[in-house]
Structure 1
Amino acid sequence: MGSIFDILGPVMVGPSSSHTAGAARIGMVARQLFGRQPEKATVYLHGSFAATGKGHGTDRALIAGLLGMKPDDMRIPDSFQVAKDEGMEFSIASKEIKEAHPNTAQIIMEAEGVKPMKIQAYSIGGGRIRVCKLDGIDVNFSGESNTLIIRNVDEPGRIKEVAVALANAEINIATMQVFRDKRGGYAIMVVETDQIVPQKAMEELESKRGIIRVKFLAAN
């Protein structure tokens, strides 16, 4: 059964829930996964995002999301100037991405002292999105629920460690997906939880051998 959100759509700055609100959310989720506002962002637009994105404000919405603006922020049309004022460098270009959804954006984020991150996501309408690649690894999540994202080395024991740490913090796991680039390579755990994961639990996980990065997306 759909929600009232599906019928009415998101509260947003227009003109398009797919090309504007969805784009802003892609940028916002990318910023959350990066853990801070990037100092430099390289944005690629694919398909209809590239063809009609400028007219629909897709480019400005993506930058707005990277600046921490939500889809209803009235500053979205001025996001380029806000980025300039805040010292965030950015570039936007069109790119053909093989087998990608028409409403796809690819974002590379950089900042001093932080490992660069590359995210690919697409808008599915109504302001909703799906993240489909993270640092070259195929993933599949929306971030609509409380979502813990864990980047780790693909080796035995990592899933158990995460489950035990969350149980100790009295966090219930709703769903868990595991993605990897290759056997014994790197993996990404996507864990949807019923509760907010406390910072202490995330720090405990990050301190464990083989776990590279831990980020949390709160439901919104």
Structure 2
Amino acid sequence: MHMKYRTVFDIIGPVMIGPSSSHTAGAARIGRAARTMFGKMPQHVSIILYGSFAKTYRGHGTDIALVGGLLDFDTFDTRMAESLDIASEEGMAVEFIESDELTDHPNTARLILQDGDHRLEVVGISIGGGKMEITELNGFQLSLSGNAPVLLVYHHDRHGAVAAVATILARHEINIGYMQVSRKEKGSQALMSIETDQVVDELLQEEIRKQHGMLSVTVLS
């Protein structure tokens, strides 16, 4: 037990700012997951904070952690403390909006990333101990912990799309541990969320992108 706690503080303690790992390390991981799914540094980010995040984000360093994650910094990156200045220098405009809307979890953030026509909306919750969960992506409900590698395929809802992805994975001997397909309405866009036992590398992601009807393909690990 002692080792477990020492390890947690090795990761988030000395560098991360603030008294609570849920307000710092978890927040940083939400930001970094959003950045990974967006695929590059966004030009503009709106961050809507709910619950205790909205009340304490400045004092607890949640703003610094979220922006550090958006800059693709790991939780122990020494640049994390300067993330707000670095974002400004690199041309990433960030606005924070406090909401009093009730949410299911007290530490909830909605991140809207934009760059030209490219837009991504992600909802993340910080569940304590530096862990986080992504609960919504572009309006699709999901549950991603980021603990296992997850292949996210955003695609047109059409016949054969799921089979095409599954066939490519099978051909490369990638085993599917868990798969969820959600759509807003028949024939519009859909999202495949696929937990895999092996890593889906960039070449394999590119092969999936080339399939008809694919909108975006990314791996969250």
Check whether TM > 0.5.
yes
Alpha-carbon distance between aligned partners in 2 of 1:62 and 1:178, rounded to the nearest angstrom: 28
Q: Residues 93, 5 of structure 1: CA spacing in aligned structure 2 closer, same or farther, 3 A cutoff?
A: farther
| Partner AA of 2:74 in structure 1 | K
Q: Which residue of 2 aligns with 1:50?
A: 54
Q: 2:134–2:144: 8 Å Cα contact kept in structure 1?
A: yes
Percent identity over paired residues: 39
Aligned match of 1:9: 8
Does residue 160 of structure 1 match 2:163?
Answer: yes
Counterpart CA distance in 1 for 2:133 and 2:100 is 18
AA paired with 2:145?
Answer: S
Q: Which of 171, 195, 199 is residue 196 of structure 1 equivalent to?
A: 199
Q: CA deviation at 1:182?
A: 2.1
Which of 81, 88, 93 is the aligned partner of 1:84? 88
Structure 1: distance between partners of 2:100 and 2:137:
18
Contact 1:37 1:66 in 2 (8 A): yes
* d(CA) in 1 for partners of 2:56, 2:95: 17
Correspondence list, 1:19-38, <5 A: 19-38=23-42
What are the residue-to-residue correspondences of 1:48-197 with 2, within 5 Å? 48-112=52-116, 115-197=118-200
Q: Classify the secondary structure of the residue corresponding to 1:18.
A: coil
Pick which of 75-84 and 6-15 moved more. Answer: 6-15
TM-score normalised to structure 1 length:
0.91
Using the alignment, how far apart are the partners of 1:102 and 1:58 within structure 2? 13
CA deviations on 1:143-183 (whole Å, 9 max, x unpaired) are 21111001112222211111101111221111111122123
Are 1:19 and 1:57, in contact at CA under 8 Å, matched by a contact in 2?
yes
- Classify 1:97/1:166 alpha carbon distance in 2 versus 1 (closer, same or farther; 3 Å): farther
Which letter does structure 1 place at the counterpart of 2:97?
A
Contact 1:133 1:140 in 2 (8 A): yes
> CA offset at residue 99 of structure 1?
3.5
Give me the CA root mean square deviation: 1.9
Secondary structure of the 2:123 match is: strand
- Aligned-partner Cα distance in 1 for 2:6–2:85: 34
TM-score, with length taken from structure 2: 0.90
**CA deviation vs aligned residue, 1:119-145 (integer Å, no higher than 9, x gap):** 111000111111111111111111211
The CA deviation at 1:74 is: 2.4
Unmatched tracts of structure 2, length 5 or more:
none
Spell out structure 1 runs of 4+ moving beyond 4 A.
4-8
Q: How far apart are residue 185 of structure 1 and its match?
A: 2.4
Give the Cα separation in 2 of the matches to 1:85 and 1:144: 32
Q: Could you say if the C-alpha distance between residues 107 and 200 of structure 1 is closer, same or farther in structure 2, counting changes exceeding 3 Å?
A: same
Aligned partners of 1:159, 1:97: CA distance in 2, in Å?
Answer: 36
Mapped to 1, the partners of 2:66 and 2:21 lie a distance apart of 13
SS at the partner of 2:199?
A: coil
Structure 1 unaligned spans of 5+? none
